Amino acid sequence: MLTTFKVHRYDSELGGKPTFQQYAVDLPEDATVLDGLFKIREELDGTLAFRASCNRGFCGECTLRINRGGRLACMTRVAATRTKEGEVTVEPTRFVRVLKDLVYDVDRQLWQKIKAVEPWLQPAAAEPNSEHVIPDAELRPIRNAMKCYYCGLCDEGCSVIPFDNTFLGPTALTKAYRFVADPRDGARAHRLRAVGEPRGMWDCVHCYEADEHCPRGIEPTARILDLREMAVSAGVKSGTTNPQVARHYDSFARSVRTSGWLDEGRLALETWGIRRALDLLPVAWRALRRGKLPIPYRHPKRHGAERIGKIFEKVERRTP
């Protein structure tokens, strides 16, 4: 199977503009993209740089953008991914600092964000003299998250990172979840406050792209939502510099609880407070002119609203 590999070439030590170099590679039908890269390096061009290790989808080292989608090169069959013209384009993932060809600065893109969530156990109690035995049921929720091998594919699929690479991203937030939910950890409130700051979990749009990109079935979006729910239960609904996030949650819950449905006018006012609400005047004026904002503004209770309020009460009674 003769395939044209179009491979990203760049050398940060030499600078200049990145180019795509073409290689015609003859491969067996079942070859992977990583097989193709090895063949290029061994037979056609020894200067091509790329990362790879286990060659069986087990280490997350060969994350690349292949025909414009984030993938593991070792788990991507050439036959299944090549275009009608028989081409495979291989480049680094987006928004990374490229060091050489397909090798990029993983430290900046991933490890620094993971380090920011303090990815080590901070035990609540003194270390036991023997093994710290935990019942299986208590570890079950985090076992799946512990399967993460930091391939970065969830960050590659993230909706926010293309607009703001300072966002912690699903890989680091999943790591934070793993420790917050660990029954041995004693830094829960500290961790929840830290990931609740701007660029943390409240900046996630919960678009579920991460879940579709994760090759390990960890569902990072669902883990971020778990993290948020743990924060709400613990009363840590925002960080120190984004109090509007907590006000938004509280106002939302209050209006559903008391009227059965969402009072958007009240939500905007209570989220932003009166000073910031003045900034919203142009928006309100436009809405008023277009008849989007009724005068007088009314938010009647929905029929059966007291039943919805009762559900809130019961949940609160159950939560310690």
Partner 1 sequence: MKVAFYPGCVSRGGCPELYPSAVKVAAELGLELEELTDVGCNGAGVLSREVSDPINARTLAKAEQRGLSTVMTICSTCTGVMGQASIRLREDTRYRERINREFLADEGLEYRGTVGVKHLLWILHEDYGVDRLKSAVKRPLRGLKVSPFYGCYIRRPEAIVEGKPQRKQYLERTIEAVGAEIVDFGGKGRCCGFPILSANETNSMAMVAAHTGDAKGRGADCMVTPCPLCHLNLDGGQPKAEAQKGAPIGLPILHLPQLLGLGLGFSPDDLQLRRHIVATQTVAAKVQLLS
Residue 15 has what DSSP assignment? Answer: -
Does residue 218 contact residue 261 with C-beta atoms inside 8 Å? no
Minimum separation from the CB atom of position 93 to partner 1 (A): 16
Interface with partner 1 in residues 132-191 (CB under 8 A) = 159-160, 163-164, 167
The SS3 assignment for 185 reads strand
Which is nearer to partner 1, 60 or 196 (by Cβ)?
196
- Kindly state the tokens that stand for 203: 């900046």
129, burial (CB in 10 Å: exposed 0-12, middle 13-18, buried 19+): exposed
Map the footprint of partner 1 across residues 206-225, applying CB under 8 A: 206-209, 211-212, 219, 221-222, 225
- Candidates 28, 135, 291, 320; binder of partner 1 (CB under 8 A) is 291
Strand partners, 89: 6
- Three-class DSSP labels, 98-134: EEECCEECHHHHHHHHHHHCCCCCCECCCCCCCCCCC
Using alpha carbons, select from 4, 20, 8, 148 the residue that is nearest to residue 65: 8
Pick the closer one to partner 1 by CB: 1 or 262: 262
Chosen residue from 253, 273, 278, 281 binding partner 1 by CB under 8 A: 253
Contact 44, 23 (CB under 8 A): yes
Task: By CB under 8 A, tell whether 232 contacts partner 1.
Answer: yes
Of the pair 149, 249, the CB lying nearest partner 1 is at 249
| Of the candidate residues 134, 234, 278, 283, the single one contacting partner 1 (CB under 8 A) | 283
Residue 275, interface with partner 1 (CB under 8 A)?
A: no
Residues 6 or more apart whose CB falls under 8 angstroms from that of 284 comprise 293
Contacts with partner 1, residue ranges (CB under 8 A)? 159-160, 163-164, 167, 198-199, 202-209, 211-212, 219, 221-222, 225, 228-229, 232-233, 242, 244-245, 248-249, 252-253, 256, 260-265, 271-272, 282-283, 286-287, 290-292, 294, 302-305, 307-308, 310-312, 314-315, 318-319
